Amino acid sequence: MPSRRSFLQTIAAATLPLPVLSNLSYCNTQVHEGEPVLRVAIMGLGGYGNMVARAMKDCKLAKLTGVISGTPSKIKTWQQEYNIPDKNCYNYENFDAIKNNPDIDAVYVITPNALHHDQVIRVANAGKHVICEKPMAINAKEGQEMVDACRKANVKLLVGYRMHFEAKTLEVIRMRNAGEFGKILFFQGLCGFEIGDPKQWRLNKELSGGGSLMDIGIYAINGSRYMVGEDPVWVTAEETKTNHEKFKEGVDETIQFQFGFPGGAVASCLSTYAMNNLDKFFLNGTNGFAEMQPSTNYGPIQGRTHKGELTQPHITHQTVQMEEMSRILLQGKKPIVPVDGEEAVKDLKLIDAIYLATQTGKKIPVSL
């Protein structure tokens, strides 16, 4: 595949023919009369921003009302597609003016990783709620500063953990919480694809903050926590690089990493930009197992447990995510798995520890 952008677009196109279910009963997202609607501006009108916008067409509780972009031609296209008035369109220099715009409740930041920190803080200072794509920042220090800024501004900060609302994923979590797997012993998370264009921002450390770990690897990091149901207490890791021309200093190609959990479970994970066909989770316990492949792509997710196939219906992930985030932001709903900034900082602490482990070759203790 030539790039992750084309990967995103290919997956999106592949899922378009699938029916969108209006009764989102499994995720408890039936819409009731009188529920407030979240008015959202999207910042960053690239491939994933387009995917979120399309998915929001099916939302009842979230509506796209504004855009923020550095590319005027994209803004014009989006205005025509989504009927967005001029007064709700901003660029990266003037978007602080959203402070005075009652048409916008929240901004969804979908820009390169290294830009999230300053952009999220600016949105918070403008008095708007923030949804930020993952990873939330390039390290835990910046992530905590974002959390603190949003708390100081009395706005909420959520992160685009769409899998936290996915039906088959939630069923595995339910089974684990009910003890159906017994004592959890092992988790495996394999996440990767062969990245294309060497000039894209994901391979530019100044914009990405790293390489595969700062992109596809976040799924294994976060997934290990919600699948096992605990936070790791130690990390080991090793980096492998076969193409030093494409993957410059500070841009990781492949990292294998391991976690240890307080209950005794261990995790073995892989994050790579050098191999396709890697999107698999496996959870093993004394009484059973869960296996998901694909486990985190845009769907439909496929999986089975020792009790049989997972059959929950596929619903466009971003549609469910935005419906649920509307309830979190406007109604104070508590999700089954957290999607707030504090949750994201935990993942960033693990990313910091993984990179430290690759540099030192040591087992790194962590406290989340």
- Number of neighbouring beta carbons within 10 Å of residue 248: 14
Q: Is residue 219 annotated as a catalytic residue, yes or no?
A: yes
The active-site residue out of 90, 108, 134, 298 is: 134
Give the chain's length: 368
Residue 272's SS3 state is: strand
Sheet of 38-43, strands arranged across = 89-90, 62-68, 38-43, 106-109, 129-132, 157-159
Local structure of residue 139 (DSSP, 8 states): S
Residue 213's SS3 state is: helix
Structure token digits, residue 237: 């890791």
Candidates 100, 94, 4; CA nearest to 51 is 4
The active-site residue out of 219, 226, 298, 355 is: 219
H or E stretch including 4?
Answer: helix 4-15
Rg of the chain over Cα atoms, rounded to whole angstroms, equals 20
- Number of neighbouring beta carbons within 10 Å of residue 13: 9
Q: Is residue 48 annotated as a catalytic residue, yes or no?
A: no
Q: What type of residue is 183?
A: K
Structure token digits, residue 338: 């957290």
Alpha-carbon distance of 307 to 82, in angstroms, equals 44
**Which residues are catalytic, by number?**
134, 219
